Chains A and B, each alone.
Chain A
Amino acid sequence: MRREITLRLGRTVHLPIGLRFAALIATLLILLVATSLAALQLGSTPVSTADIVRWLLSLETADAETAPIMDLRWPRIVAALLGGAMVAASGYLLQVVARNGLADPGLLGISQGSMAAIVIGAAVFGLAPSALVWLGLAGGFATALLVTTLAYRLSSATGLILIGLAVGIVLSAAIEIVMVQGGILQFARWLAWSHGSLTAVSATNAGMVTLWAAVLLPVCLIASGQAMPLLLGHEQAAGIGASPKKLSLLLTLLAAMLVAPVVASVGPISFLGLIAAHVARRLVGESPGEVMPVTMLIGALILISADTAGRTLFLPVIVPAGILISIAGVLTFLIAARLSRSHR
């Protein structure tokens, strides 16, 4: 049997934790801290480690040059870390619900549903960003329900992806129709956003994402501990005492909630959920309680790496993180599709 320790808190908490899993989490956390520090340092104006440490400790001596650069960088780093974790978590939840390793909020049209609602809310009704998140949530959830219900009738793995892509394309077209109605400046901003870019992330955006993440990520971790029965199929899940339909609906809602604030502030990051969950499942297996936290950390790592690479590697050109991830995502998609075929 595997080696494990047990987390005990009074009578209500009793959670066995595998040592291998714990070691993996620790490794990923160390990687995340290192990458975040590098992301703070790197850029068109590099900052020394000593200055960053001083700024982090917010000593009085933090010099006037460092502070403004840091104020530009920390919001996008926070948004990348938490946004990455949220999109990845959303993707994994969808994979569990759809019992399909190819599910992803971008590929199933959920991000586009969120975007469409946000674009229409902003352009047509002129709503404030804080209200747009809720609109994005409604749009994403409605799309998620539509796509999963249609696919449920087809009950095939590729059917889900096809329906998701089709719905996504229709929604993208709707988004573009609204986008071209505005001026050229507005269009340029929206174009960057629609590809998933962290360039325009403000401290307010970062704060909003943090608020949602603080609520949703813990909920997600607890819910994933209850999600394993869904992997057995609805009939067997009910047989062991789960309520598969209720659970699926709850997790789909959660998946849409995770995506909405990220879409509102960063744009859709397609393929991130697919890659992160795929890598996580390769590393820890299929137990959702373990896959979920690993997926979150890998999602955060991928988004912050892609954003930092996009804004430093090809200077003076800045490549949106979403585009870099899409390139990596297509490769993962092909590998995942191949693997899932050979396994079924």
Chain B
Amino acid sequence: MTSHEKKGEPVLALKDLSFGYGGSAVLESVSLDFRPGEFVAIVGPNGCGKSTLLKVIAGLLTPDQGSVLLGDRPVGSFSRKTLALHMAMLAQTNEAPDGMLVADLVGMGRYAHEGWLSRGTAQDRAHIETAMQTMEIADLAGRRIGELSGGQLQRCRMAMTLAQDARVLLLDEPTNHLDLKYQYALLDIARRQAMAGRSVIAVLHDLTLASLYADRIVLMSDGRVVADGAPADVLTPAHISAVYGIGTVAMPFGRAIVHLPESALE
């Protein structure tokens, strides 16, 4: 696999980004490039600004300083609908009502492609079908989401995001609610999306999973980027200790890096 190679021009560039909620800074001078074909995991402790970073990239929040460039245009200059043709985002929590059908939920992924009086065209259907097969939820199409388990629902939401067919995928803690099998399955799908030429950016909690699937890891702390690079270079005991405040022993295992707390090993 050559996925570690940096391919082509950046599809997305963050330039000296700062953002704060009413005075208190959440992001401070963040500069990052994202290239096509790359799966980037953003990790860091709770409240380090990683979800906020994703929202700023998605244009949901306007940065106080700096810019987010999609191609050569600032994200804020696109209409929401046009932006959604290029960039899909999976929000952290589900708010859809229990009575909504799985088919309707996944179908929402095609919203940006639809007109006011044109829905469910052959192309829309093809993308929805492929997304549902990829997420192994084809048999759930007629079910209401209130009847699903948390994991099934999360797979349906991911299918919606895939159906959007955007070249940039922003995933906010996509492995939430998933059991072991589907955590692996989802991240494997995310990686395959990257290998197909998309740019995948995911906020993840689990460092081991991040090292196992991501091409690149961005480690954040207090709104700043502490380290950015290949998993082996970022997930070092020194970085972990600086960011999380615990001493760990790193155990490389294939491409994965498992960090175990020193305190438990004594």
Beyond the given A99-B95, A228-B108, please list 11 additional residue pairs across the A-B interface where CB-CB is below 8 A.
A13-B117, A15-B119, A225-B119, A226-B116, A231-B95, A232-B105, A239-B88, A241-B83, A241-B112, A287-B104, A343-B98
Q: Per-residue 0/1 for B176-191: is the Cβ within 8 Å of any A Cβ (1 yes, 0 no)?
A: 0000000000000000
Which residues of B are found within 8 Å of A228, using beta-carbon distances? 104, 108, 111
What residues of chain B lie closer than 8 Å to A281, measured between beta carbons? 99
Which A residues are CB-close (under 8 A) to B100? 231, 285-287
Residues of A271-325 contacting chain B, CB below 8 A: 281, 285-287
Report the interface size for chain A: residues with CB under 8 A from the other chain: 32
- Give the complex CA separation of A13 and B141 in angstroms: 24
- Max chain A C-beta neighbours (<10 A), residue from B82, B103, B120: B120
Determine whether A235 belongs to the interface, using a CB cutoff of 8 Å to chain B.
Answer: yes
Pick the 6 closest A-B CB pairs, nearest first: A241-B84, A241-B112, A233-B95, A239-B89, A236-B91, A16-B120
Which of A15, A232, A343 is in CB contact (< 8 Å) with B108?
A: A232
Q: B92's closest neighbor in chain A, by CB?
A: A235
B residues near A236, Cβ cutoff 8 Å: 89-91, 94-96
Chain B residues contacting A2 (CB-CB under 8 Å) are 103, 142
- Closest B residue to A6 by beta carbon equals B120
| Residues of chain B from 47 to 104 with CB closer than 8 A to chain A in the complex | 55, 58-60, 79-85, 88-91, 93-101, 103-104
Tell me which residues across on chain B come within 8 A of A1, comparing CB atoms. Answer: 103, 141-142
Is A12 an interface residue, CB under 8 A from the partner? Answer: yes
Which residues from B are CB-within-8-Å of A235?
Answer: 55, 60, 89, 91
A34 smallest CB distance to B (angstroms): 29
B109 within 8 A of A: yes
Judged by a CB distance under 8 angstroms, whether A153 is at the interface is no
Q: Does A57 contact B (CB under 8 A)?
A: no
Which of B99, B112, B118, B144 interacts with A240 by CB under 8 Å? B112
Is A229 among interface residues, defined by CB-CB distance under 8 A? Answer: yes
Q: B114 to chain A: closest CB distance in Å?
A: 9
**Is there contact, CB below 8 Å, between B115 and A241?**
no
Interface residues of B (CB under 8 A from A): 55, 58-60, 79-85, 88-91, 93-101, 103-105, 108-109, 111-112, 115-121, 141-142, 144, 146, 160-161, 164, 170
The answer for the CA separation of A193 and B118 in the assembled complex, in Å, is 42
User: A232 — which chain B residues lie within 8 A by C-beta?
Assistant: 91, 94-96, 105, 108
CA distance in complex: A286, B80 (Å): 24
A/B interface sample: 5 pairs, CB < 8 A: A233-B93, A233-B94, A239-B91, A240-B88, A343-B97
Q: Determine whether the beta carbon of B108 is less than 8 Å from that of A225.
A: no
Least Cβ–Cβ distance between B122 and chain A, in angstroms: 9
The residue that A241 contacts in the complex, of B91, B95, B111, with Cβ under 8 A, is B111
Q: Are A285 and B144 neighbours in the complex by a CB distance under 8 Å? A: yes
Kindly report which residue of chain A lies nearest to residue B115, judged by CB atoms. Answer: A12
- Interface of chain B: mostly helix, strand, loop or mixed: mixed
Say whether B85 contacts A241, CB under 8 Å: yes
**Interface presence of A186 (CB below 8 A):** no
Closest B residue to A8 by beta carbon equals B118
**Beta-carbon nearest neighbor of A247 in chain B:** B80
Q: Which residue of A lies closest to B111 (CB)?
A: A240
- Chain B: CB-nearest residue to A228: B108
For B58, what are the chain A residues with a Cβ–Cβ distance below 8 Å?
238-239
Question: Which residues from chain A contact B121 at a C-beta distance below 8 Å?
Answer: 14
**Interchain CA distance A240-B159 in the complex, whole Å:** 12
Give the contacting residue for B116; candidates A11, A99, A222, A238; CB below 8 A. A222
Q: Which residues of B contact A130 (CB under 8 A)?
A: none
Name the CB-closest residue of B to A17: B120
Given contacts A229-B108, A241-B112, A285-B100, contact A222 B83 (CB under 8 A): no
- In the assembled complex, how far is the CB of residue A9 from the closest CB belonging to chain B, in whole angstroms? 8
B93 → chain A, closest Cβ, in Å?
8
Tell me the complex Cα distance, A226–B161, Å.
18
| Most B-side CB within 10 Å, residue of A13, A231, A241 | A241
Do A286 and B108 touch across chains, with their CB atoms under 8 A apart? no
Q: How far is the CA of A99 from the CA of B85 in the complex (A)?
A: 26
What is the CB-to-nearest-CB distance from B130 to chain A, in angstroms, rounded to a whole number?
Answer: 15
Q: Does A158 contact B (CB under 8 A)?
A: no
Partner of A286, one of B60, B99, B112, B120: B99
Q: Evaluate contact between A15 and B88: CB separation under 8 angstroms.
A: no
Complex Cα distance A16/B96, Å? 22
The CA-CA distance from A242 to B58 in the complex, in Å, is 13
A14 and B101 contact, CB distance less than 8 A: no
B142 & A15 in contact (Cβ 8 Å cutoff):
no
In the bound assembly, the distance between CA atoms of A235 and B89 in angstroms comes to 9
Q: Is the CB of A156 closer than 8 A to any CB of chain B?
A: no
Q: Is there a chain B Cβ closer than 8 Å to A149's Cβ?
A: no
Bound CA–CA A6/B121 (angstroms): 9
- Measured CB to CB, the nearest residue on chain B to A343 is B98
Is A15 within 8 A of B118, CB to CB? Answer: yes
Q: Are B91 and A14 in contact (CB under 8 A)?
A: no
Q: Please report the C-alpha to C-alpha distance between residue A13 and residue B114 in the assembled complex, in whole angstroms.
A: 11
Shortest distance from the beta carbon of A101 to any chain B beta carbon, whole Å: 8
B137 smallest CB distance to A (angstroms): 13
> Are B111 and A229 in contact (CB-based, < 8 A)?
yes
User: 8 Å CB contacts to B: which residues of A1-57?
Assistant: 1-2, 6, 9, 11-16
Report B-chain residues with C-beta under 8 Å of the C-beta of A231: 95-97, 100
Chain B min CB distance to A14 (Å): 4
How distant is the Cα of A223 from the Cα of B138 in the complex, in angstroms?
29
**Contact check: which of B59, B80, B93, B116 meets A225 at CB < 8 Å?**
B116
Let me know if B97 and A286 touch, CB within 8 A. Answer: yes
A204 within 8 A of B: no
